[in-house]
Amino acid sequence: MEIYFLGTNAGVPTLQRNVTSIALRLLEERRTFWMFDCGEGTQHQVLRSPLRLGKLEKLFITHLHGDHLFGLPGLLSSRGYQGGTSPLTVYGPPGIKAYLDISLSASQSRIPYKLEIIEHSGGLVFEDDTFKVEAGLLEHRIDSYGYRVTEKDSPGNLDAELLKSYGLKPGPLYGKLKRGEDITTEDGIVIRAADVIHAPKRGRIVTILGDTRPCQGTLPLAQDADLIIHEATFAHDLADMAYQYHHSTARQAAELAREAGGRELLLTHFSSRYSSQEELIPLLEEAQAIFPATLLAEEFCTFPVHRRTPGNASGE
C-alpha cells in the first residue's frame, strides 16, 4: 500500500505543481490503484508516472470545486483509449453524476467499460472482504468530504520453520491449518492451528481529507490512522486568511494529527504563493514542531503506508 501524488497545488496549476490528485496504490493487495480527486491535467500527470489507467479501479471525489474534478471527464475518456476495459466506480457528493453525465454526453465521449457513479452524503460508501471506505462531511465553502480507508485485518502466516521441524511439507494439511483446523500427522502428532499461525496482520488506515478548515468532522476520520493526508494551504501566519477561505494551515493539520493519535502526516494542497519545495519548508517546520512525523507531499513521489505491529504503536 503506497501513496503517490499526481498533484499537490491548491486552486490553480503552476509550472511547478499541478492541482489535486492522489493515487492509493494497492498493487499487492488488489493489483489496482484508487484515485482521490482528479484536477485538470491529471491524465497528463499519469502519463509521466508509473501508473496505468487500466489498473484504476475506484475514483473518489472530495468535492465539486474545479481544481478537484475538472480533469475527470478527460481521464475517463482516455482510460478506454489506453486499454482500460475493467469496471470503474466513481464516488462523490451529490451533483457528481449530473456533472459527468452532461460532460460525457455533450462531448459524445465513448466509454468502452462499465462506469458506475455513486453519489453519497457521508457514511459507509464501500466495503468488501478486504477494505472499507467511510466518508465524513468537513467544513468548506461547499460540501467537502474526507475519506477513511480501512484495510481489514488479515490472517497470520503459518510458521513454516516450526512446521518443518514436525516434518510437515506444504500440502493439504497446510490448508487445514490456515483455516484454523487442528491436524494429526502420520506419526500421530497433533498440531494445533493456534500454535503454528502467527498473529493476524493489522490492517492499515489511511485518511484523505478534502478541503477543510478545522472542524469536528476531521477527528473521527483521522482517529488512530496510520497515515493522514491533510491540506496545508497556508502557513500559520496566514491563519485568518485560511479561515476566511475555508482552508487550513500546516500547524492546524499537525494539531489534528496529534489529537487523532495518527502515526504519520502528509501535507498537501499548497497555495501557489509557495512556488517551490524550498518555500514550503516553513510549513513543514511549523507542523513538525507539533507533530514530528510530518512530511511534505511531492509530485511523482511514493510514500509507503507503514503497518503498525503489535506492541509498537509507531509502526515499522
Same domain, 104 and 206: yes
Task: Determine, yes or no, domain membership for 103.
Answer: yes
Q: Which grid cell sits at 243?
A: 479561515
269 carries a ligand binding annotation: yes
246 carries a ligand binding annotation: no
Same domain, 180 and 133: no
Active-site positions read 67
Task: Determine, yes or no, domain membership for 53.
Answer: yes
Q: Which grid cell sits at 49?
A: 508516472
68 carries a ligand binding annotation: yes
Same domain, 186 and 213: no
44 carries a ligand binding annotation: no
Same domain, 245 and 290: yes
**Helices of type H across the chain:** 42-47, 66-69, 72-81, 96-106, 160-165, 172-178, 193-196, 218-222, 239-244, 250-260, 281-288
Q: Interior CA angle at 257 toward 91 and 92, to 5°?
A: 10
Helices H / strands E in the chain, number of each: 11, 16
Rounded Cα–Cα distance for residues 305 and 52 (Å)? 20
Task: Determine, yes or no, domain membership for 309.
Answer: no
Pairing of strands 131-137, 56-60: unpaired
Pairing of strands 123-127, 131-137: antiparallel
37 carries a ligand binding annotation: no
236 carries a ligand binding annotation: no
**Domain end among 196, 224, 249:** 196
DSSP letter assigned to residue 300? T
Task: Determine, yes or no, domain membership for 289.
Answer: yes
CA atoms within 13 A on the CB side of 102: 6
Angle between helices 281-288 and 250-260 (to 10 degrees): 30
CATH code, domain with 70: 3.60.15.10
Same domain, 149 and 227: yes
Same domain, 96 and 183: no
Same domain, 25 and 142: yes
**Domain end among 196, 215, 248:** 196
Same domain, 171 and 270: no
Q: What is the total count of domains within the chain?
A: 2
Nearest to 9 by CA among 23, 1, 21: 21
Task: Determine, yes or no, domain membership for 290.
Answer: yes
Same domain, 169 and 212: no
Structural domain for 89, as ranges: 2-154+200-304
Same domain, 257 and 191: no
Rounded Cα–Cα distance for residues 35 and 58 (Å)? 6
Residue type, position 111, single letter: I
Same domain, 263 and 115: yes
Please give the chain's pLDDT, 316 residues, in tens: 999 999 999 999 999 999 999 999 999 999 999 999 999 999 999 999 999 999 999 999 999 999 999 999 999 999 998 889 999 999 999 999 999 999 999 999 999 999 999 999 999 999 999 999 999 999 999 999 999 999 999 878 888 888 888 878 788 888 888 878 898 887 888 888 888 888 888 999 999 999 999 999 999 999 999 999 999 999 999 999 999 999 999 999 999 999 999 999 999 999 999 999 999 999 999 999 999 999 999 999 999 999 876 544 444 4
Same domain, 262 and 166: no
Task: Determine, yes or no, domain membership for 192.
Answer: yes
What was the pLDDT predicted at 310? 53
| SS3 track for 103-152 | HHHHCCCCCCCCEEEEECCCEEEEECCCEEEEEEECCCCCCCEEEEEEEC
Task: Determine, yes or no, domain membership for 209.
Answer: yes
Task: Determine, yes or no, domain membership for 97.
Answer: yes
Would residue 219 be called left, alpha or beta, if left means φ above 0 and alpha means ψ between -120 and 50 degrees? alpha
